[in-house]
Amino acid sequence: MKKVAIVGLGWLGMPLAMSLAARGWQVTGSKTTLDGVEAARMSGIESYPLRLEPELVCEADDLDALLDVDALVITLPARRSGPGEDFYLQAMQELVDSALAYRIPRIIFTSSTSVYGDAQGVVKENTPRNPVTASGRTLKELEDWLHNLPGTSV
Question: Mind listing the pLDDT tens digit for each residue in 71-99?
Answer: 999 999 887 555 667 889 999 999 999 99
Residue 85 belongs to what H/E stretch?
Answer: helix 85-101
5 phi, psi to nearest 5 deg = -115, 140
Q: Residue 154 pLDDT more than 90?
A: no
Partnered with residue 46 across adjacent β-strands are 28
Handedness of CA 43, 46, 49, 53 (dihedral sign): negative
Q: What is the distance of C-alpha 133 from the center of its chain?
A: 20
How many structural domains compose the chain? 1
Partnered with residue 51 across adjacent β-strands are 57
> Do the domain assignments include residue 153?
no
Q: What is the pLDDT of residue 80?
A: 55
pLDDT band with cut points at 50, 70 and 90 for residue 9? very high
Using DSSP's 3-state secondary structure scheme, residue 119 falls into: coil
> Do the domain assignments include residue 154?
no
Per-residue pLDDT, averaged over 115-123, amounts to 91
Average pLDDT along the chain: 92
Q: CATH number of the domain at 113, please.
A: 3.40.50.720
> Do the domain assignments include residue 152?
no
> Do the domain assignments include residue 59?
yes
For 7, the domain range is 3-147
Q: What is the pLDDT of residues 126-137, one digit of tens each?
A: 999 999 999 999
